[in-house]
Structure 1
Amino acid sequence: MKLKVDQQADALYLTLSEAPASRSDEVSPGIIVDYDEQDRVVGIEMLYLSKRAPEVDIRRLLFESVPQAA
């Protein structure tokens, strides 16, 4: 999994798989989900990042994993 922030494009892209995207759907204005040939999500793009999250410091990203319930 990779997270890329492109400040020039004002966008964030979360890569979930290295499989190539075969199609994309804009599920909400400025939110694009990429799918592979088997219709699995391979990536999510968020456009207009500075407007959606103006207080976010992109230099300080925190990855948090939630434990599975027993």
Structure 2
Amino acid sequence: ASVMVTGTKLKTIQMAIYDYMGFFGMEWGPLTASATFAIIPILLVFTFLGKQLVSGLPAGAVKG
């Protein structure tokens, strides 16, 4: 996927995090900070919509 993206503004957060892993080592500070910012929206969605997500799982599994 990184071959198809030419501009830095078009990168996803996962591709930007991968850029912190260099040939000679990893830049742990920016890597950890960007991974934390990538996780925050997922945690917020699950925190506020967790009950609806969990209650919808059995409803979708019922056949008929």
Normalising by the residue count of structure 1, what TM-score does the alignment of the two structures yield? Answer: 0.23
Normalising by the residue count of structure 2, what TM-score does the alignment of the two structures yield? Answer: 0.24
Give the number of the structure whose residues are more often strand, by fraction.
1
Higher relative contact order (CA 8 A, sep 6+): 1
Give the number of the structure whose residues are more often helix, by fraction.
2
